[in-house]
Amino acid sequence: MASRDKRDHGLQPDTRRANRSRAEGGGRRQRMLDSSQPQSPSPGALYRKDVALSDLKPGECGSVMRLNGNFCGRLRLLEMGLTPGTHVRMVRAAAFGGPVDIEVRGYQLSLRREEAAAVWLGDEDQP
Partner 1 sequence: MKQATVAGPTPDDAIETQEFTVALVGNPNCGKTTLFNALTGLRQKVGNYPGVTVEKKTGRATLPNGTPARFLDLPGLYSLTPHSPDELIAREVLLGLLPGEAVPQVIINVVDASNLERNLYLTSQLLDTGIPVVVALTMVDMVEREGRSVDAAEIEAAIGVPVRAVIASKRIGADELLEAVGNAGGQEVRKREWTFSPAVATEAFRLQQLIRTEAELKPRVAFTEALTLLMQDTDSAGPRYLPDSCRRAAKEARERLADQGIDSASEIIEARYAWIARVCEGVDRGPGEDQRRRRPFMTNDRVDRVVMHPFWGYVLFFVVMAVVFQSIFTWAKVPMDWIQNGIDALGTGLTKIMPAGDLRDLLKEGVLGGVGNTIVFLPQILLLFLFVSLLEDTGYMARAAFLMDRLMSRVGLHGKSFIPLLSSFACAIPGIMATRTIGDRKARLITILVAPLMSCSARLPVYTLMIGAFVPARTLLAIPLPGGHHLTLLSLPGATMLAMYLLGMVTAFGIAWLFHRTLFKGVPPVFLMELPPYRMPSLRAAIQQMIERAGLFLKRAGTIILAISVVLWALSTYPKRNDLPEDQRIQHSFVGMAGKSIEPVIRPLGFDWKMGIGIVSSFAAREVFVTAMGTVYNVGDAKETGQVNLMDHMRSDIDPRSGRHVFTPLVAVCLMIYYVLAMQCMSTLAVVRRETNGWKWPAFQFGYMFVLAWAGTFLVFQVGRAMGWG
What residues have CB less than 8 Å from 60, skipping those under 6 apart? 40, 45, 46, 47, 48, 89, 90
Single out the segment in contact with partner 1 by CB under 8 A; choices: 42-50, 64-72, 119-127: 64-72
- Residues 102/90, Cβ–Cβ less than 8 Å: yes
CB of 14 or CB of 127, closer to partner 1: 14
- Residues 100/110, Cβ–Cβ less than 8 Å: yes
Question: How far is C-alpha 94 from the chain's CA centre?
Answer: 20
Q: What 3-state DSSP class applies to 108?
A: strand
Should residue 31 be labelled a site residue for partner 1 when binding is judged by CB under 8 A?
yes
Work out how close the CB of 40 gets to partner 1 at its nearest, in angstroms, rounded to a whole number.
13
Work out how close the CB of 100 gets to partner 1 at its nearest, in angstroms, rounded to a whole number.
9
Rule CB under 8 A: choose which of 52, 80, 122, 125 binds partner 1.
80
Should residue 91 be labelled a site residue for partner 1 when binding is judged by CB under 8 A?
yes
Single out the segment in contact with partner 1 by CB under 8 A; choices: 44-52, 78-86, 117-125: 78-86
Maximum distance among all Cα pairs of the chain, rounded to whole angstroms: 57
Work out how close the CB of 10 gets to partner 1 at its nearest, in angstroms, rounded to a whole number.
9
